[in-house]
Structure 1
Amino acid sequence: MKLYSMPTSGNSYKVRLLLALLGRDYQRVDVEYDTEALAQAHLSGALPFSRAPALHLGDGRVLAESNAILCWLGEGSDFVPQDAFARAQMLSWMFWEQNQHEGVIAVRSALLYYAHRKPEATPQRLAELLERGNALLQLMEDRLKGQNWLVGDAISLADICLYAYTHTAESRGGFDLTPFPALGAWLDRIAALDGYVGLDD
C-alpha cells in the first residue's frame, strides 16, 4: 500500500495512526501544502478528491477520504464493533467528526498554524470558533464521563477518528482542555496504546 499523506493534517494522521496500531506496512508519500510533491500528486491524479489522504492499494485501486480509509483498514479488526448497533454508533461519531468537529476544532487550528490562513484569523472568527469548539468538546466530555471509549467498552474507529484533531486542540488551536478531565484521560489512554505514533513521528 502507498499512502499519500499531508504530515500536518489530522485527517492524514488518523490514517497513519490506525496503520501503526494495526502493524500494517505501507509506503508513505508526504504531500504538504505548497510543496513540489503535492503539485506532482495533483498532476499525476494520485489524489482523487484533490486532497490527502489517499490510499493506493497494490491492485491499483485508490481510496480517498480519511474516514472511508479508516473503515476499510479497520474491517475485521478489533477497532470495529461486532454488534450492528454499536457499529452504527461508531459511524455516527465518525460522521459527526467530519460535519461538526472538524469544521470547528481543525479550522481554528489551521487559522492559527498555517501562514496562508492567517488573513482569515480575525479576532471575531477565532472567538466564534472557540465558543463553538468548547461546546463540541463538552459534548465529548459528557460522553466520556462514564466510560473509557466513545462506543461501548472498547476502543473503536470513532476514537481514532476523533483523537486526530482533538489531541492538538490545545497546542495548535488554543483551546484550554483543563475543564475537560474525562476528555484528557481519554487522550492519555489512546497515547498509551501499543504501536501508537504521534502526529510528528
Structure 2
Amino acid sequence: MYKVYGDYHSGNCYKVKLMLHLLGLESKWVAVDILKGETQTADFLAMNPNGKIPVLQFEDGSCLWESNAILNFLADGSAYLPSEPRLRTQVLQWQFFEQYSHEPYVAVARVIQRFQGMPAARLEEYQVCQVRGHKALKVMEQQLQRTPYLVGEHYSIADIALYAYTHVADEGGFDLTAYPAVRAWLARVAGHPGHVGMLD
C-alpha cells in the first residue's frame, strides 16, 4: 500500500489521488499542513529535500516526489500512459506545459484569490497570472477543439495533470465561458468511470 503525503486542496496532490482512484490502488493519505511549516520539518525533508507535496511513499520507506513524475510511475503499463513513443512523448509535452505554462499562473492566481484573499502586495502578480493563465487556456482550447482529450482519443495522465487546476480555475478568477472545448473536456474527465472529486 502506498502512502501519499499531501493536502486535499492542492491540485498537484489531487493528481495523485485521482490517478490512484482510477487505477483502483489502495493508499493511505497523510495530511500535511503547509501553512504550519510541516513540509519543512526534518522528517518531511528526509522524504523530499525540496520540501514540497505531494510525496508518494513506498512500503520500503523510499519516496517519489514531483506530481507528474508520480503520475508517470503509477500509470506505467496502464491505458493512461501510451506505450507508442510519439504518443508517450506528447503526454510528456503536455505535462511540461502544465508545469511551466499553466500551473505557475492558474494555480498561483487561485492561491492569491482564494487562500490569501487578494492581498495588495500580490495584486500585480495576480494580474500577470491572469494574462499568462488565459494564454495557457487558449492553447488547451485549440487542442481540445481538435481532439476529445489532450493526446488524441484517449484519456491519459496528460489530462489528469491539466484537469487538476483547470477544474478549479474559477477560484483564481478565470472565467471559462470563452473556452467551450475546455469546458466540454472538463465534463468528459469528470464523467469518466472511477472519477473522484478533489474533496471527495
Q: TM-score range by the shorter chain?
A: over 0.9
Question: Does the residue aligned with 2:177 lie in a helix, a strand or coil?
Answer: coil
* CA distance, structure 2, for counterparts of residue 106 and residue 159 of structure 1: 16
Query: Does 1:63 pair with 2:64?
Result: yes
* CA distance, structure 2, for counterparts of residue 80 and residue 103 of structure 1: 24
Indicate the residue corresponding to 1:12 in structure 2: 13
* CA distance, structure 2, for counterparts of residue 117 and residue 31 of structure 1: 24
Indicate the residue corresponding to 1:184 in structure 2: 183
**Contact 1:8 1:32 survives alignment (8 Å):** no
Indicate the residue corresponding to 2:163 in structure 1: 163
Question: Alpha-carbon deviation of 1:164?
Answer: 0.3
Q: Quote the RMSD (CA, aligned, Å).
A: 1.7
Task: Give the letter aligned to residue 194 of structure 2.
Answer: G
Task: Give the letter aligned to residue 169 of structure 2.
Answer: A
Change (3 A) 1:62 1:105: same
**Contact 1:6 1:12 survives alignment (8 Å):** yes
Indicate the residue corresponding to 2:48 in structure 1: 47
* CA distance, structure 1, for counterparts of residue 127 and residue 35 of structure 2: 28
1:175-195 C-alpha deviation (Å, 9 max, x unpaired): 110110000000001111111
Once the two structures are overlaid, the 10-residue window that deviates more, 62-71 or 2-11, is 2-11
Change (3 A) 1:116 1:178: closer
Question: TM-score by structure 2 length?
Answer: 0.92
**Contact 1:111 1:120 survives alignment (8 Å):** no
* CA distance, structure 1, for counterparts of residue 132 and residue 100 of structure 2: 13
Question: Alpha-carbon deviation of 1:116?
Answer: 8.4
* CA distance, structure 2, for counterparts of residue 34 and residue 136 of structure 1: 28
Question: TM-score by structure 1 length?
Answer: 0.92
* CA distance, structure 2, for counterparts of residue 13 and residue 52 of structure 1: 11
**Contact 1:7 1:31 survives alignment (8 Å):** no
Indicate the residue corresponding to 2:33 in structure 1: 32
The percent of aligned pairs where both chains have the same amino acid is 40
Indicate the residue corresponding to 2:143 in structure 1: 143
> After the TM superposition, which segments of 4 or more aligned residues of structure 1 sit over 6 Å from their partners?
none
Indicate the residue corresponding to 1:195 in structure 2: 194
Task: Give the letter aligned to residue 182 of structure 1.
Answer: A
